[in-house]
């Protein structure tokens, strides 16, 4: 599997598996079995998903060794603050039945405990409890503010990214800071999959629309964490053995509409005053 080297030297798979499977019709362990069999080795969770005990038990019972997979979790809004974040990490590690995380992320920026939360992540990183620390849903002004006090630059920023919301400005800024862009909802949660331009491109390459979108991401150095409960689609999402032309990349970039699936970070938390 293709990997990327984070700004602290840690190697991370470019394609991960989103483990928030609350709405899936198959039993959790069956979905995870299919994901492991397909070849996924990055598993992304968060305390707010409520599935960490399930995932931890699954991984403990699996044949995978801890060093064989990359495990990510996130600090929820209700867990932010210095002591609160340290306690949240301890609970997360317990639920996931692991001694360390490969990546620990601030799930959404929150004004009040903003710096204290990051200070706690830096402590966990420097003490060796996490191999890398990052952020999620941080835009340019959040990163600018964070870097006024941070002693460790985030390794990753997980942000909503898909052809209808391609984050090209933030993507370039992350590149300048050597922060890995990682896309959540990389397939746009369905609507994008019906796009005629993408369907035409997919037909020409003889692949699925989802494969086209994921190739578009990864060819532009965007890591992705797609989610699927369908074993065949899981395999397809890992099979990107074709290369989009420069013209096709440009056609997909031109689909940008500025359409988010979820509201902007500062809109989601209106009690915060930036």
Residues with catalytic annotation?
A: 49
Helix (H) or strand (E) holding 5: strand 3-5
Please give the sequence-ordered ranges of beta strands (E in DSSP) within 114-220, or none if there are none. Answer: 133-136, 156-160, 180-184
CB-count exposure of residue 273 (10 Å: 0-12, 13-18, 19+): exposed
Contact 89, 74 (CB under 8 A): no
Give the span between the Cα atoms of 270 and 111, in whole angstroms: 10
Apex CA 68: angle with CA 67 and CA 73, to 5°?
A: 75
Give the span between the Cα atoms of 8 and 61, in whole angstroms: 31
Contact 25, 35 (CB under 8 A): no
Give the span between the Cα atoms of 248 and 241, in whole angstroms: 16
Residue ranges in 14-113 assigned as alpha helix (H)? 28-38, 52-61, 82-96
Q: SS3 of 162, please?
A: strand
Give the span between the Cα atoms of 158 and 137, in whole angstroms: 6
Contact 121, 86 (CB under 8 A): no
Give the span between the Cα atoms of 183 and 81, in whole angstroms: 26
């Amino acid at each position: 599997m293709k990997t990327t080297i984070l700004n602290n030297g840690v190697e991370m798979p470019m394609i991960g598996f989103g483990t928030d499977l609350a709405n899936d019709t198959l039993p959790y362990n069956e979905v995870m079995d299919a994901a492991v069999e397909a070849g996924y080795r990055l598993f992304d969770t968060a305390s707010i998903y409520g599935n960490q005990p399930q995932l931890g038990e699954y991984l403990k019972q699996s044949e995978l060794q801890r060093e064989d997979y990359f495990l990510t979790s996130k600090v929820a809004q209700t867990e932010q603050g210095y002591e609160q974040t340290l306690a949240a990490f301890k609970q997360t590690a317990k639920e996931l039945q692991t001694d360390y995380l490969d990546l620990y992320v601030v799930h959404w920026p929150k004004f009040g405990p903003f710096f204290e939360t990051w200070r706690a992540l830096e402590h966990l990183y420097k003490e060796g409890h996490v191999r890398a620390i990052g952020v999620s849903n941080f835009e340019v002004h959040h990163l600018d503010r964070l870097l006024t006090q941070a002693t460790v630059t985030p390794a990753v920023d997980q942000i909503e990214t898909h052809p209808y919301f391609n984050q090209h400005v933030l993507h370039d800024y992350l590149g300048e800071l050597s922060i890995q862009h990682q896309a959540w909802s990389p397939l746009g949660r369905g609507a994008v999959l019906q796009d005629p331009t993408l369907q035409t491109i997919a037909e020409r390459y003889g692949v699925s629309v989802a494969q086209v979108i994921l190739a578009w991401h990864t060819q532009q150095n965007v890591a992705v964490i797609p989610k699927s409960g369908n074993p065949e689609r899981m395999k397809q999402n890992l099979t990107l053995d074709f290369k989009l032309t420069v013209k096709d990349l440009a056609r997909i970039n031109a689909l940008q509409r500025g359409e988010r699936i979820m509201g902007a970070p500062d809109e989601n938390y209106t009690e915060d005053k930036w």
